[in-house]
A and B are shown apart, each in its own frame.
Chain A
Amino acid sequence: MTGLAVLIPIALGMGLFGLAAFFWALRSGQFDDCEGAAARILIDEEGDTLP
């Protein structure tokens, strides 16, 4: 039973960490432009210097 005292806080802590990360993402505007974020990965940053 003493294992519970360790495991439960760990489980809750990880869950809360995920929740906090999601809230941070929401606040910092990462859900403002989902379509653009999907397209942005295809932008070729070095494209201009290549032939």
Chain B
Amino acid sequence: MTEPARQLADGAAETVLIVPGMHCAGCMAKVERGLVAVPGVSGARVNLTARQVAVRHEPGMGPLALIEALGAIGFPAQPRNDDIAPPPSAARPLLAPLAVAGFAAMNVMLLSVSIWSGATGATRELFHWLSALIGVPAILYAGRVFFASAWSVLKHGRTNMDVPISIGVLLATTLSLYETFTGGADAWFDGTLMLLLFLLAGRTLDAAMRDKARAGVDALLRQAAPGALVVGKNGTVEWIAARDLVPGLVMRVAAGERLAADGEITSGTSRFDNSLLTGESAPVAATAGDPVHAGTLNLEAPVDVKVTAAGQGTTLAEIARLMGAAGQVRSRYVRIADRASRLYAPAVHTLAALSFAGWMLAGAGLHQSLVIAIAVLIITCPCALGLAVPVAQVVACGALMRSGIMVKDGSALERLAKVDRALLDKTGTLTMGRPLPDPAVLDGLGADEAGVALALASHSRHPLSRALVEALTARGIAAAELAEVEEEAGQGVRGLWNGTAVALRRPHLAAGMATTLDIAGRAAWLIPFADRLRPDAAEALAELGKLGVTASILSGDNAAAVAETARATGLTAQAAAAPAEKQDAIARLQQAGYTVLMAGDGLNDGPALSAANASVAPGSASDVGRQAADCVFLGDSLLAIPRVVRASRRTIAVVKENFALAIGYNVLAVPLAMAGRVTPLIAAAAMSISSVIVIANSLRLVRAAR
């Protein structure tokens, strides 16, 4: 295990722990105070955005004491694994240029207003010089973002929106400097800086949205501890991270835990839920000598597993390899703003060149012709166009996030808007992906019996018990008071209720998943458990149909189980599909001209999720599923899928309106510029008005997620 403590300059050490359970000010205070109370700790500072706490302590301390202290106050923690450390923020590097552009634009505008109000002679020259003094360094500093991006695509012989922006900005600055030196009437520093300010604002919003969605997904990823308790030679137990597991180690896997590596059972008997790995819904029994796979969930009893393969050798690594090969469809996708600029840049540059040639032919002289050509470039600089896409996407993503759908970036929204074919995984996507107690049996239980069942189940961490607690709590049942409760691993929970022996135990006849509720002197209840369709699956599929998206099932489960779901939902289905076959199915549909949306949760869906044009995963999905998907929805409702498709279509509609508005403004302004009638005042007014109109239009998307 790597040593996560970092030495600080003053002799103390710092350890960063991940605490996924922190949500509010109360949690922050508890964590910070709880850590400071540990001897040897001199300080603790929570970062709530990253769900981390940085602890300053004496150099000799290990992370285990800190993790135990946090565990004692109810916050499970783990040392930060650098593999899953959050990526650097995309918005932060833009904040400084934005601030500089804002400062300079405001001050230069102040000077420009004086000039427009009629300042002449020496005053005007002084003001031009002051504007240049503020404007030129500010333009060079704030414009770096665009110059760097434009240069990097130009080197490869391509173009994007930043190319016309950079050319316009640089030419306008040069012309303004020339006018300042020669004492000319007009300088364009104010317009140029305002353009940079608006564009940087759009870009910062876009980056901030991506950061926020990533932070949400990362917080989910960190909840799954990638590691295992390893039994040492002399019986000691130690937690080891998944990447440090090596063949030969023995992992102790409690009921309700996921395996961190492939292995072979050395002692114990249990059943395993393979649904994340293969899509199979029926649990598989395994005993000493049987192989078990990383990513499967131990359902019943603790087992010891000897690691046979870890890292590169596992089934997981094979799936990761398939995923690496997929994803070409998405990397080939060209964002709508870049497609627009491919048409826009040549048109604008041709217009500027034509005005220059026209005025030269009309005998206007080199200087005047150049001024007019540059005025055309400035007036057409895609100010509103630069805001048209990011503002609409930020507003839509914010609306979706409030309704529990996290979209990873703007291009995902653009791709989602085009889907006309949906493939849905069965286990965990159409269904809840976890065993739920039979509601008919729960209805039959008396109130006191239900109370006993809830009280017994609440003493166990077994997946079936936890499902029972959830279902009974949702029905508003109050737990009965029990005495002498004890849990026997793999057998069940026993206790005394008003002196009567009660037990929640595994049934004698183990047919499927079930638990038996025994109350001495009464008939025993058998509560069967099964995976069920999500509550509003039918409604969600009907809505998808209304949106013109044909849905079908693509599952790795066996044909019989899939046929049952297909009947219940009325969809066509493909069963027993391996990860590579899922990818093939998507490739076939893509070749037939469909734009495919994949919804899935499992490890086995990872390759399909990255191969599809767009993808969705539920928040309960595997790490791989959540990482591969374009958006992740929280909660149990499948209605999130039609909702995100509808919202993305509305977003694209608004983006197109924004383009129409921005281009409409150009149609009005360009003839003025070509006629040589545009002054810096007109340019500044036109630019602000068109930007405000585009932002106002985008704000209509606030309710897009309804």
Contact = CB atoms under 8 A, between A and B. Distances in A.
Given A15-B106, A40-B25, A44-B29, A33 B50 contact: yes
Interface string A2-33: 00100010011001101100110010000111
Contacts of A43: 25-26, 28-29
Given A22-B99, A44-B29, A35 B48 contact: yes
B107 A33 contact: no
A36 B46 CA distance: 8
A39 B96 contact: no
Given A26-B96, A39-B28, A40-B28, A8 B49 contact: no
A50 to B, nearest CB: 14
Contacts of A42: 24-26
Interface in B45-61: 46-50
Contacts of B46: 33, 36
Contacts of A22: 99
A36 B103 contact: no
B123 A34 contact: no
Q: How large is the interface on A (under 10, 10 to 19, 20 to 34, 35 or more residues)?
A: 20 to 34
A42 B92 CA distance: 26
Interface in B80-100: 92, 95-96, 99-100
Contacts of A35: 48-49
B449 to A, nearest CB: 40
B64 interface: no
A8 B130 contact: yes
B284 interface: no
Contact of A36 (B26, B28, B107, B123): B28
Contacts of A39: 24-25, 28, 48
A36 to B, nearest CB: 3
A23 B102 CA distance: 13
Contact of B110 (A11, A26, A34): A11
Interface in B204-235: none
A10 to B, nearest CB: 12
Contacts of A26: 92, 95-96, 99
B134 interface: yes
Contacts of B50: 33
A18 to B, nearest CB: 7
B25 A18 contact: no
Nearest to A21: B99
Contacts of A8: 130
A12 to B, nearest CB: 6
Interface string B346-359: 00000000000000
Contacts of B99: 19, 22-23, 26
A12 B25 CA distance: 40
Q: Which 10 A-B pairs rank lowest in CB-CB distance, beginning with the nearest?
A: A36-B48, A42-B25, A39-B25, A33-B47, A43-B29, A35-B49, A19-B103, A35-B48, A33-B49, A22-B99
21 contacts: A1-B123, A8-B130, A11-B107, A12-B107, A12-B134, A15-B107, A19-B100, A23-B99, A26-B96, A26-B99, A32-B49, A33-B46, A36-B46, A36-B47, A36-B48, A36-B49, A39-B28, A41-B25, A42-B25, A43-B26, A43-B28
